Amino acid sequence: MQERIDQLLQEVETLNASSGEEVEQLRLRYLSKKGLISALFEEFRTIPNEEKRLVGQLLNKLKTRATQKLDELKISFEEGGEEEDADLDLTRPTGQVRLGARHPLSIVRNQITDIFARLGYSVAEGPEIENDWYNFSALNFPVEHPAKDMQDTYFIQRDPDVLLRTHTSSVQVRMMERVQPPIRKIFPGRVFRNEAISARAHCIFHQVEGLYVDKDVSFADLKQSLYFFAREMFGEETQIRLRPSFFPFTEPSGEMDISCNICGGKGCNICKYTGWVEILGCGMVDPQVLKNCNIDPEIYTGFAFGMGIERITMLKYQIRDLRLFFENDVRFLKQFTGAI
Ligand code: DAH
C-alpha cells in the first residue's frame, strides 16, 4: 500500500490541465467520494494496527498535496490563465461612448471672441464681485443716479460699496487704470441683476464688452468694426443700423440693431414686425471716464460696446426662452453636440 501511495504522490505533483473542465475531471478522479484517494482511506481501515501510523501520515500527506495542487490549477483558470489572456483582443471596439456638447452660451462666447481676435482684440477678465467705483462711479454714474436702480443691483447689505457687477463695463475701468493705450480688449463674463426670471430676463446672464482706445479712434471705426462683427456672426447679408441712446460712460452713445436674421427684414414676431432687432449698446468713451482712469482725453479717444451673450445666442439659434440656458436639460443641450 505504501508503494501505491508513493506512486500517487508523484503523479499528483506532475498534474496539469488545459481547462477548468479538466481540473474538475482530475478532482473527481482523485478527491471525490469514489476517487482513488478515498478508496485508499477505505483500505486503510483494514491494514494491521502497527502499520497504521506510518501509512496514515503518508495518506494524509497525499490528500493534502492533491487538494493543494488541484486548488492551484482551479484558481489559474478562474483568474483567466495564460490561455484566456491570449484570447484577449484589446483592439475590439467598446460600447458606444456618448459625445458631450459645449453649452450654447460657451459656443457663442467663443465665436464672439474669435471674431474680435481677428480684429486684434485679446481677451481679459475681471471679478464678478465689484465695488461701486468700478461698476458705477468711474463709469460716470452720478451718486444717486437712477441708472443704479435701472440696473437693479444686488448690493451686499453689510457694505453697500460691495456689489455683484451689473455689467462687464467694470472691466474697462480696471484695464484702463492698469495700462496706457493702445488698448484693444474684449471682456466676456457673467453679470447679475435683480430681475424676476422670465422667458426674456434672468438674474444671472452673460455679456461681452469691447474696448478700443488709441490716438485718432473715431465713430467711423466703431461702426465699421461692429458691421464686420454683425456680418461674421449672422451672415454676409446682415445689415446694421445705429440709433442714438444714452449711457453715462459714452458720448455719443448708440444702440445697434441688425436686420432680423429670422425673416430677413420682412417682419416677423421676433423683430415685432419692424425688420430690426437690437443687439448691443455702444459709444465713444466719455472723456471723463478716460480721465477717471488717468488716460489723457486730449491725446486719446476710444470706443466701447457691450452685448448680452444670451440675446445673441437666442437670435443665432432661434431659442425663444432664456430659461433653457440655465435648466441643464440634456434634451436641449445635446442639440449642440458637434458645434464648437
Ligand atoms: N454696460 C451696458 C449695459 O449693461 C452695455 C454697454 C453700452 C456697454 C454701451 C458699453 C457701451 O461698453 O459703450 O447695458
Residue ranges of domains in the chain = 2-83, 104-336
Q: Which residues contact 11 (CB under 8 A, 6 or more apart)?
A: none
pTM of the complete model: 0.72
Residue closest by Cα to atom 8 of ligand 1:
306
Q: What are phi and psi of 220, to 5 degrees?
A: -65, -35
Among the listed residues 303, 280, 309, 277, the one whose alpha carbon sits nearest the alpha carbon of residue 290: 303
pLDDT digits (tens, 9 = 90+) for 174-233: 999 999 999 999 999 999 998 889 888 899 999 999 999 999 999 999 999 999 999 999
Distance (Å) from CA 319 to ligand 1 centroid: 23
What are the tens digits of pLDDT across the range 225-263? 999 999 999 999 999 999 999 999 999 999 999 999 888
* Average pLDDT for 154-180: 93
Q: Is 3.40.50.2300 the CATH classification of the domain at 104-336?
A: no
Specify the ligand 1 atom closest to the Cα of 249: 13
Q: Other CB atoms closer than 10 Å to residue 133's CB: what's the count?
A: 15
**Which residue in 277, 302, 110 sits closest to 206, CA to CA?**
110
Atom 4 in ligand 1: residue holding the nearest Cα: 167
Rounded Cα distance between 121 and 112, Å, is 11
CA of 268 to the centre of ligand 1 (A): 27
Phi, psi of 308 (to 5 degrees): -90, 125
CA distances from 112 to 163, 208, 226, 239, 299 (A): 27, 8, 11, 18, 30
The closest alpha carbon to 310, from 300, 324, 329, 299, belongs to 324
